[in-house]
Amino acid sequence: MSELQVVCSEQCIRSAVERLACEIRSDYQDKNPLLIGVLKGVFVFMADLVRSLNMPLEVEFVRLSSYGYGRTESSGDVKVIHGLESGIEGRHVLVVEDIVDEGRTLDHLLRYLNEQKPASLKVCALFNKPSRRQVPVNIDYLGLTIPNVFVVGCGLDYDEKFRYFPDLRCLDD
Ligand code: IMP
Ligand code: MG
């Protein structure tokens, strides 16, 4: 599938991750932040970000789902499939997302996390598709804004395929 058009190169993504790590490191120095990644798509970005951060922090993962099998549109019905294993009360929480599209997933997750009274709650997303937003969400640390196309690679999938591309590619013709 190497003919899929590249939307963001590996180098471009690496620079964005390094810039995000610099911003986050200066804001969270000595705060032992808890990074909460949204599975599955975030696993590549989370690994790159944590290595770039190179500072004391903890990592957790949650899994949410709103996509049916083989679809490129959200069903709009977000569910927490796997929640947190330990409490976040009093913690400095940074949600780490691969991509924000309609905003429903993030909105749902932020409500779920806010109920548990973290000391602070911010969002870091590698990719943003603002033209598709249905629910307003604030992204505190944003990597790259991309056009309104369905993308794969860098952990992102279509029907569980193409997560392995090191760059971001467009699935649409
Ligand atoms: P939202 O609720 O529409 O913002 O959806 C966010 C989630 O949908 C992301 O965390 C991804 O898992 C998935 N998603 C949204 N857009 C894309 C895309 O272009 N490619 C692959 N997954 C996507
Ligand atoms: Mg995601």
Model confidence pLDDT, tens digit, residues 110-147 = 999 999 999 999 999 999 999 999 999 999 999 999 99
CA end-to-end span of the chain, whole Å? 13
- Whether the per-residue pLDDT at 154 is higher than 80: the answer is yes
The residue whose CA is least distant from atom 12 of ligand 1 is 41
* Domain annotation covers residue 122: yes
Matching residue, tokens 């993504």:
13
Residue 71 belongs to some domain of the structure: yes
pLDDT of residue 69: 46
Specify if 28 maps to a domain.
yes
CA dist 171 and 161 (Å) reads 11
Q: Residue 107 belongs to what domain range?
A: 10-148
Structure tokens at 143: 């990597």
How does pLDDT run across 60-105, given as a tens digit for each residue? 999 997 655 456 666 667 888 888 888 999 999 999 999 999 999 9
Told to judge if 140 belongs to the known catalytic residues of this protein, a careful annotator would answer: no
Contact 83, 101 (CB under 8 A): no
Specify whether the CB–CB gap between 85 and 116 falls below 8 A. no
Give the pLDDT score at 77. 77
Q: What is the CATH number of the domain that holds 20?
A: 3.40.50.2020
Residue ranges lining ligand 1, Cβ < 6 Å:
38, 41, 66, 74, 97-106, 150-152, 156
Residue 154 DSSP symbol: T
| Confidence band, pLDDT 50/70/90 cuts, at residue 3 | confident
Residue, of 67 and 168, whose pLDDT is higher: 168
Q: Output the pTM of the full model.
A: 0.93
Residue-wise pLDDT for 33-62, tens only, equals 999 999 999 999 999 999 999 999 999 999
How far apart are the CA of 103 and the centre of ligand 1, in A? 9
Stated as kind and residue range, the H or E segment containing 162 is none
Give 109's DSSP letter: H
In a domain, 169, yes or no: no
Residue 94 belongs to a domain: yes
Q: Is 86 helix (H, G, I), strand (E, B) or coil?
A: coil
Residue 129 domain-assigned?
yes
Parallel, antiparallel or unpaired: strands 92-100 and 34-39 = parallel
**Total number of domains in the chain:** 1
Q: Residue 41: inside a domain, yes or no?
A: yes
CA torsion, ordered 44, 46, 51, 56, to nearest 10 deg: -160
The answer to the question of residue 164 being in a domain is no
